[in-house]
Structure 1
């Protein structure tokens, strides 16, 4: 029996056993290997070797005799011992305390000794795609994992992440100015990632285990005013930035999400009752968003020669450009593509006085409950509805 000991409290035992009941017509039976760590045994695995039961010495764990076959088989047994010991010692040197079954799985190729953070996130994102999660959802998860990778500063072994990394990551997010609930969503995505890692055997434990999230239910309905929209429309932009501004303004006038805007094509536009309409099946939910096109939106479509020829820029890249654009015209708000959708909602609710049901349909929502995340009723709408019924002082 082979014993490997890194310290006095943790020991690995390796023992080879034969299965006489499976002796074949040639008179040999399979030689299996059994690993035990701290009294916990792994399921036996086949070594691929066969032994004559009469020549097997169970006490000394070797084949009796001086024949070449016996020498080769004993050498093979020694190699297996050495390789198993290598896996065990390598894991211990990295601070990993693996079970007997995990050692066996690593040796037999069913599991890797170490899995990097980037590799585990890649595998998790691939699983989300296989489960037909929308590209918007997959990209949102990807963005959350990029935050954690940026905080870590390097591609770490996932098994080496600890509680201190989680608490440090939370502080790092808050220092970057993100809202409490947005930080929670990022952490939630990471919790799901490590649950996947535990299920697939890449980590034994999750550093996010036991994390309690406090939701403040913050609603960020930041939007642009008519004056700020005018600044964007009238500024003399370069050709590159003009395309970014036009796509942003188009979303302000249609309420499209950046992911849905990128997918619009020639068949997205149609005529109803002699009016221009657009119908878009949302990538995230599969729900159709239906809305008429105002004169400004139609003018942009005509400018580029059709819906399918509108400037299409990825969300992250356009957000980077929007920061430059905001600074150029003196807009102090954190200008992102999300603000376009919120601006559309604000105009519909407070300028035009549309009902929640109509706004929900145009946004592609299945209920009116989501509107509160995109816009809120303001004094102008309240005053208008009062003025229709009550004399206001």
Structure 2
């Protein structure tokens, strides 16, 4: 299949007269679209873009220049082409022979697809990946949604519901999926709730894209996860113990292999560094940060990939020691995949004797607790260090403890003296 966008001269009397008077007249016109398959073509027609002939780049099938209006039109042309190509792909699944006219009928919505649930999921993921390419969302978000989609597909297969039409879904599909995640997958309430929220988003998005005539899940209530945010973190004593722990001594005494000691030391250093930087695993692993020296100290700066918010943290002594240990270069700091890091961290917790199930998230939460309750930093400043848009979501990383309240509140006698 070949998609062509082409310039069609305006047939308005004024333009026709101007062209007759001056053969070099830069005429007005419209951009049209044509689809060709195996030598046969169909005119899809006007794509709602008008321009002068000189503004149209026929070779590259786009408007010339970088003006805001031209950028908007070129983006629309790209999206329209993607729509045609995806329509062609879907038609190839349903029809033995796909013609240009058949593509036109579905693109112009004279005929509509009857999307299966699996088709809705596939198209949703494609839409989200397109948003990644346009930098509207980050790849990590799509990766998470792919996992939700996989679990929902597994549920449909286990219940033999893959052939059931989406329009027949109701609250039973939500309760069944929830039960499957609880009992079969063993997920907790918060993680399960995120799956259900995603499922409703899938149907809402599908309606918006006209893949459904109505949203059968629109009125279904899903409630909240009814759980308090998990702010598990290391205490100052536990963090200090971990930072100083000698894994090589365990290897010398024969408790662990030298290779294990080396692996644990590397991951411990990465974990402790993040306890003092507050970085998310993605920014740390992809080295999406930089080190800057100034008279006030050494600062770690970067931009949060998920929120696109800048973050900045002053590195304290333990973090500086780790940075120095690896030659002062962020590229030398040890890094692994999230799963491998978490596997090693669980092993480290047992070896060091820390009664916490360690993970990469615990480092970010430990930083938050230190910043709030030990350094007494303002809540908005802590949110800024974490790269959050505001302090609304700070509750998911840390909570204000008694120590902070006690330090902040004066005694009544001090109030009387100051009065």
Q: TM-score, normalised by structure 2?
A: 0.58
Instruction: Specify the SS of the correspondent of 2:192.
Output: helix
**Structure 1 residues 261 and 387, CA gap change in structure 2 (3 angstroms):** same
Instruction: Specify the SS of the correspondent of 1:268.
Output: strand
Aligned to 1:355: 378
Contact 2:124–2:206, Cα closer than 8 Å, also in 1: no
Instruction: Specify the SS of the correspondent of 2:364.
Output: helix
What is the rounded CA distance, in whole Å, between the counterparts of 2:119 and 2:410 in structure 1?
Answer: 63
- Correspondent of 1:254 among 277, 282, 287: 277
What is the rounded CA distance, in whole Å, between the counterparts of 1:143 and 1:360 in structure 2?
Answer: 28
Contact 1:166–1:207, Cα closer than 8 Å, also in 2: no
What is the rounded CA distance, in whole Å, between the counterparts of 1:317 and 1:125 in structure 2?
Answer: 27
Aligned to 1:192: 201
- Correspondent of 2:309 among 275, 287, 290: 287
Contact 1:244–1:318, Cα closer than 8 Å, also in 2: yes
- CA RMSD, Structure 1 to Structure 2 (Å): 3.9
Q: Find out whether 1:137 has 2:137 as its counterpart.
A: no
- CA-to-partner distance for each residue in 1:295-331, whole Å, 9 max, x for gaps? 1111222222311221222334423433343344454
What is the rounded CA distance, in whole Å, between the counterparts of 1:330 and 1:109 in structure 2?
Answer: 65
Following superposition, the deviation at residue 159 of structure 1 comes to 4.7
Shifted more, 114-123 versus 329-338: the winner is: 114-123
- CA-to-partner distance for each residue in 1:90-136, whole Å, 9 max, x for gaps? xxxxxxxxxxx99x859x99858754577446424423324521233
What is the rounded CA distance, in whole Å, between the counterparts of 2:410 and 2:323 in structure 1?
Answer: 37
**Structure 1 residues 329 and 124, CA gap change in structure 2 (3 angstroms):** farther
What is the rounded CA distance, in whole Å, between the counterparts of 2:161 and 2:127 in structure 1?
Answer: 16
Aligned to 2:66: none
**Structure 1 residues 189 and 384, CA gap change in structure 2 (3 angstroms):** same
Instruction: Specify the SS of the correspondent of 2:311.
Output: strand
Q: Find out whether 1:222 has 2:254 as its counterpart.
A: no
What is the rounded CA distance, in whole Å, between the counterparts of 2:130 and 2:163 in structure 1?
Answer: 18
**Structure 1 residues 113 and 212, CA gap change in structure 2 (3 angstroms):** closer
Contact 2:291–2:299, Cα closer than 8 Å, also in 1: yes
**Structure 1 residues 173 and 225, CA gap change in structure 2 (3 angstroms):** farther
Contact 1:158–1:202, Cα closer than 8 Å, also in 2: no
Q: Find out whether 1:169 has 2:177 as its counterpart.
A: yes
Unpaired runs of 5+ residues, structure 2, are 1-39, 41-93, 96-101, 248-259, 415-419
- CA-to-partner distance for each residue in 1:189-210, whole Å, 9 max, x for gaps? 2222233445556666667443
Instruction: Specify the SS of the correspondent of 1:375.
Output: coil
Instruction: Specify the SS of the correspondent of 1:184.
Output: helix
**Structure 1 residues 243 and 142, CA gap change in structure 2 (3 angstroms):** farther
Q: Find out whether 1:213 has 2:213 as its counterpart.
A: no
Give the greater-gyration-radius structure (CA). 1
Following superposition, the deviation at residue 258 of structure 1 comes to 1.2
Aligned to 1:18: none
Aligned to 1:271: 293
- Correspondent of 2:326 among 295, 301, 304: 304
Instruction: Specify the SS of the correspondent of 2:229.
Output: coil
Shifted more, 222-231 versus 303-312: the winner is: 222-231
Q: Find out whether 1:371 has 2:394 as its counterpart.
A: yes
Aligned to 1:82: none
**Structure 1 residues 109 and 239, CA gap change in structure 2 (3 angstroms):** farther
What is the rounded CA distance, in whole Å, between the counterparts of 1:127 and 1:381 in structure 2?
Answer: 45
Shifted more, 358-367 versus 231-240: the winner is: 231-240
Unpaired runs of 5+ residues, structure 1, are 1-47, 49-86, 89-100
Q: TM-score, normalised by structure 1?
A: 0.62
Contact 2:125–2:142, Cα closer than 8 Å, also in 1: no
Shifted more, 178-187 versus 113-122: the winner is: 113-122
- CA-to-partner distance for each residue in 1:206-253, whole Å, 9 max, x for gaps? 674433121236322121223332453315153233333222221111
**Structure 1 residues 211 and 298, CA gap change in structure 2 (3 angstroms):** same
Contact 1:198–1:206, Cα closer than 8 Å, also in 2: yes
